[in-house]
Amino acid sequence: MRSTFYGLEIARKGLHVSQKGLDVTGHNIANANTPGYTRQRLVTSSIEPSVYGNGIFTYTAKGQVGGGVTIQELTQIRDKFIDMQYRRENTKLGEWTAKTDALRYIEDVFREPSDAGLNAVLADFFSDLQELSKNPESKEIRTLVRQDAIKLTETLHHYYDQLIQLQGEQDTAINITVNEINDKIKNIRDLNELIFRFEIGGEKANDLRDQRNLLVDELSNLIKINYYETPDGRFRIDINGMPLVDHVHYQEIETVKDVKNPAGDGLDDLYSIKWKGTNMDVAINGGKLKGYLDIRDGKTPDRMGIPYFIEQLNKFAETLVTEFNAIHRTGYTLPEGDKPSETGIDFFATVDKDGNPIKITAKNIRLSQEILDSVYNIAASRQQVDLNDPNKPGDNEIALELVGLRNRKDIPIVGNFEDFTKMVIADLAVESSHSQKMLEGQEMLTDSLDITRLSISGVSLDEEMTMIIQYQHAYSAAARAISAMDEALEILINRTGLVGR
C-alpha cells in the first residue's frame, strides 16, 4: 500500500527541481556577457515506480505511479568538435596576424613608391651625375652629386636600422609570448586540479571548465597545441607530442639567447625556445610564435623575413660600391689649388678607419674620406686634368660611364640597380598581399566558427526568459498540488469518523 504522504513527496521533488531550474536560468542570465561562459541546462529524469516486498525492489504492482522527478546532472551545452575546429583555425589566425603586422611595417620602411624611397634617391643621384657629365668643372654640381650620394647611403642605413629594430621587436615579442604561454599553462594546471577534485564526487565543475576552455582558446592563438581529456577527467595539452600540461603537472618553456643572428655578423644573438631545464628546442609549428620566428629569421624566398630583405639591401650596397668604384678609380680628379689631378681614388669607402678592408653592407656603406674632404676628388675625366695646360683640358668620359651604370642590365648579382630594387619591393608587396589575404580569410573562418560556437554555447536571453516561465509554472503547479494534498489530508485526519456526532 502506498504511503499517505507519497504524493507530497512527489510534489516536493517537483518544487526542488523547478527551484533549481530557476537558479540555473538566473545564473545563465547573469553571465550572458561573461567571456567564455557556456550556458548550462538542468538534465532531469523521472523516478521509476516501485514497491517493496520482503525488502526486495520489484515492479509487479499494478497501477503504479512514478516517484516524481530527480536531477541527473547540470550540463554544459557545448560542441567539442566545433571547439577543436575553432582552436585549429585560431592557431593559423595568430600566425598570419603576426606576419601581416610585420610585413606592413616593412612596407612602410621601404616607402615605395615615394620621393623618399630608394629608387627615387638613386634616380636623383644618377641625374646629378648626368649633369656632371655636361659640366665636369662645376663645383655646385659636384656638391649635389656628393649630397645625393650621402642621401643614398643614409637611405640604406635607415632601411637597415629600421629592419634591425623590427627584428629586435620580434625577438622581444617571442620572449613575451613564451612568458604568456607559461602563465596560461600554470593556470590550466591549477584548474585541472580544482576540476578533478570537484568532479571526483560526481558533480560538474562547469564554471571552472569555462575558465579552462577560455585559457585553451587563448593558448591556441599563441602556439599550435593538441589536447584531450581522458574518461576519468585528466586533461593534457601537447606541443608536437611533448606534454606541456599533463593533468596536475606542467612543463614550462623558456627563451635562451643562443641563436646566431641570420641577418649578419656582429649583431646580437637572438632567442631560441627550449623546454625549461633542458637543451631541447621546442617545435613551433603554428600560432603567433611561428609568425614572429618566420619574420625574425626568414632568409629565403619561400620564407621572407627580415634577414631576407637585409640580404637584398646588402647585395645592392656591395654591388653598387664595387661597380661604381671600379669605374671611378680609373678616372682623374679635378685639380684644386696646388693639388694636381689624381687617379685611383674610390668614391665609396672600402676600408675602415685603420685601413683594413671591410665587407660592404647596407649598414656601413659610406663615401670615402677623399670625397668627403673635397668635391674636387670626384673623378669625371678619363684623362688627367690640368686647367693651366690647354693640352690637358680633361673630358667627361668617366662621368658618362658612371651614368651608364643606371641602364646597364648585366651588372653581376643585381642585373640592373633600379630593376633590382623594384624586384625586391615587388617581392615584398606580393608577400604582404598574400599574408593580408590569408589573414582576412582566416578572420572570416575563425569568426564564423566562433559565431557557430556561440549559437550553441552562448546565452540567449529570449530562451532563458522562456525557461523562467516554464520553471515558474512548474513550481506553481507543484505548490498547488501540495495545497490540494494538504486539504485532502486535513479532511482525512480531522473529519474522518465525525459522522453522526
The whole-angstrom separation of Cα 70 and Cα 469 is 20
Question: What's residue 501's pLDDT?
Answer: 53
Bridge partners of 243, per DSSP, are: 238
Q: How far is CA 125 from CA 27, 79, 148, 158, in A?
A: 72, 64, 5, 17
Question: What's residue 56's pLDDT?
Answer: 47
**Residue 5's closest CA among 356, 422, 486, 497?**
486
Contacts with 496 (C-beta within 8 Å, 6 or more apart), sequence order = none
User: Are 296 and 304 contacting, i.e. CB atoms less than 8 angstroms apart?
Assistant: no
Bridge partners of 256, per DSSP, are: 272
Question: What's the pTM?
Answer: 0.88
Contacts with 396 (C-beta within 8 Å, 6 or more apart), sequence order = 132, 133, 134, 136, 380, 381
The whole-angstrom separation of Cα 250 and Cα 154 is 50
Here the cell at position 263 is: 641577418
Per-residue pLDDT of 414-453, as tens digits, reads 999 999 999 999 999 999 999 999 999 999 999 999 999 9
Q: What stretches in the chain show pLDDT beneath 70?
A: 1-4, 50-64, 391, 393, 497-501
Here the cell at position 178 is: 613564451
E-assigned strand segments in 24-123: 40-46, 51-53, 56-58, 69-76
The whole-angstrom separation of Cα 255 and Cα 281 is 10
Question: What's residue 57's pLDDT?
Answer: 46
**Residue 378's closest CA among 338, 352, 346?**
346
The whole-angstrom separation of Cα 182 and Cα 285 is 17
Chain centroid to CA 33: how far? 26
The whole-angstrom separation of Cα 39 and Cα 45 is 20
Per-residue pLDDT of 76-93, as tens digits, reads 999 999 999 999 999 999
| Helix, strand, coil % in the chain, rounded to nearest 5 | 55, 15, 30
